[in-house]
Structure 1
C-alpha cells in the first residue's frame, strides 16, 4: 500500500495560522491608553511643578544681584554689626561720635578691588605722602622701632596671605614686608624677622595675635588694617569661616578696637561688601 508523503508546510499549525482577532487587541490598546492617562500629572502636581520653576527662576535672579559702591558709613555699620554678633560688643553712639565713619578707608572706584590692585589702593588711601606713611625709616632705620608695621593685611589662610603680598609688590620693593602665618613658618623664625624694620605684614588672625602677645609684633606705627573680604573657592571669607572668624574678632577686640575708637587706626575692607540697597539685573 503506497503512503502519501505529507510536506511539513502543508501541515496546518493552528496557533500559527490562526487569524488574530482585532477585538481583544483594540481593547488592550484602549486599556493601555487609559493607563497612560492615569499616570499623567494631576492638577496639584502641575501647580507644584510650576511653583518650583518659579522659585528656581527667583534663585537665578538672586545670584545676579549686584550692588552699587558702598559708602563709608554703610561699611562701618556692617562692620559693627558683625562685631556685635560675633562677640557681643555694642559700640555706643557716644563712642562713635569722635570717629564716626572716618575710621573706614574709602577706596577708589576707578580700580577693581582684586589682588593685583591692592598696592595701588593702599598708595591712594595714603595720598601723596604714602612713602613717608608706609615706608618711614627707609633712610633712617635707627629711628624706627623694629617689628612695627604701618599696614597689616589680614586674611583667612596662608595661601591667601601670599597672594595678597604679591599684590603689594609695588610697595614691598620700597617697604619691607613680613609673612605672618603659621604654615611652614615657625614662631621663632618670625620673631627673628621682626627684629628688623618691617613696614607691611600679611597673615592670619591667630598667628598675628600670637606674635603681638609675645611682644614680637608691635603696633606703635600701625595706621591701617586691611581686612580681606574675598571668598575662597568654597565660598567662605574671613567673616564666615567659623574658626577663623572667631580668631579675627578675638584679635580685633583685644588689639585693635580701642585704637579704632581713639582714631589712631583705620579699617580697609578690601573686596566685595554687602550693601543695603541691592538692585536686580534685568534680563533682556
Structure 2
C-alpha cells in the first residue's frame, strides 16, 4: 500500500472514534432511567406548572374586583338606615302635648294665633283691624273652675240678662267647642248655672240645619252650644243673628283622647277663625261682645 492510502485510512478511523465518543456523551447527558418514576413525575409537574400559573393570574384579578362591589353596596345601606331614622324621628301632636304641662289659655294666645294665620296673606293695615285689646276679653280659666263656676264668675248678672232677652233667632251666650259629644258634656255641666233658661244644640251630628233654623225662628233661646262649622253656616244663612249676643266662650283648654285642644285640630281651627273674622271681631271691637277662654 502507498503512504497516502494509509494516512487516509488512519484519518477515517480517528473520525469514527471521535463520533462514537460524542454520541456516548450525549446519551449520558440526555438519557433518563426508565425505572426512575420520581424523576418522570417531577418533570411532568414542572411542565404542568407553567399553564397553571398562567391560569391563576386572572383569578387574582377577579378577587381584586370584589372590594369595589362591597364599596358600592355600603352607601345604599347607609341611605336606608338614614331613611328609617328619619321616619322614627317624626312625632305626632299627641306625643308633643303628652310631654308638655297643661297651661291655661290667655288672650295673648288667641292674638298670636290670629296674627300667624293672617300674617302671610294680609297687609299690615288689615292685620291691625283684626287685633283685639285686652278689654275685649273676659277673665280666662286658670284650670281650677268647672264650667258652671267659670260662667258664674264671668256673668254675675246672668239672671237679669236672661229675663230681658226676648228676641228670636239669637242667643245671649254662644259656646264654641270641638265636637258634638263635647257640646253635650258642656250642656250637662252647666246645669248649676243655666237655671230655667233654654239651651240650643248647634252642631251638625244627627241634627239638620233647617230644623235648627226653624227652632230659632219659633222660640227664644238664651244659650247656644255647638261647633264652629255649624254656627258659621247658620250665620251665613241668616238663621242665627249675633247682634243680641253678649258673651262668646271658646272651649280653649279641653283636650280630647289624642290630647288635642280645639285649636290643635286644623279643621276646627280654620272654622273658628273664619267665624271670628266674619262678625265676632267687629262686635268685640265695638264693645258689644266679650270673649272668654275656658
Change (3 A) 1:234 1:79: same
CA contact (8 A) 1:126 1:133 kept: no
The answer for the alignment partner of 1:112 in structure 2 is 144
Counterpart selection for 1:243 from 267, 280, 287: 267
- Give the C-alpha shift of residue 76 in structure 1: 2.1
Q: Are residue 79 (structure 1) and residue 110 (structure 2) matched? A: yes
Change (3 A) 1:95 1:157: closer
The answer for the alignment partner of 1:175 in structure 2 is 197
The answer for the alignment partner of 1:4 in structure 2 is none
Residues 88-119 of structure 1: per-residue CA shift (max 9 Å, x gap) = 36643x886xx73111111575x723xxx212
3-state SS in 2 of match to 1:226:
strand
- Give the C-alpha shift of residue 224 in structure 1: 1.0
Q: Which has the larger radius of gyration?
A: 2
Change (3 A) 1:255 1:64: closer
Q: Are residue 123 (structure 1) and residue 136 (structure 2) matched? A: no
CA contact (8 A) 2:118 2:127 kept: no
Change (3 A) 1:82 1:135: farther
The 5 Å alignment of 1:8-87 reads 63=99, 65=101, 67=103, 75-87=106-118
Instruction: Quote the Cα distance in structure 2 between the aligned partners of 1:163 and 1:205.
Output: 16
Instruction: Quote the Cα distance in structure 1 between the aligned partners of 2:265 and 2:163.
Output: 33
The answer for the alignment partner of 1:231 in structure 2 is 255
The answer for the alignment partner of 1:101 in structure 2 is 134
CA contact (8 A) 1:177 1:199 kept: yes
CA contact (8 A) 1:108 1:124 kept: no
**Greater Cα offset, 149-158 or 259-268:** 259-268
**Greater Cα offset, 218-227 or 117-126:** 117-126
3-state SS in 2 of match to 1:198:
coil
Change (3 A) 1:167 1:136: farther
Structure 2: give runs of 5+ residues left out of the alignment: 1-94
- Give the C-alpha shift of residue 63 in structure 1: 3.1
- Give the C-alpha shift of residue 193 in structure 1: 1.5
TM-score normalised per structure 1: 0.61
3-state SS in 2 of match to 1:188:
helix
Residues 243-276 of structure 1: per-residue CA shift (max 9 Å, x gap) = 1111111111112111111222111111xxxxxx
| RMSD (CA atoms) | 2.6
TM-score normalised per structure 2: 0.59
Whichever structure has more helix as a proportion of its residues is: 2
Give the aligned length.
192
Instruction: Quote the Cα distance in structure 1 between the aligned partners of 2:292 and 2:188.
Output: 18
3-state SS in 2 of match to 1:153:
strand
Instruction: Quote the Cα distance in structure 1 between the aligned partners of 2:269 and 2:281.
Output: 16
Change (3 A) 1:246 1:163: same
Change (3 A) 1:135 1:125: farther
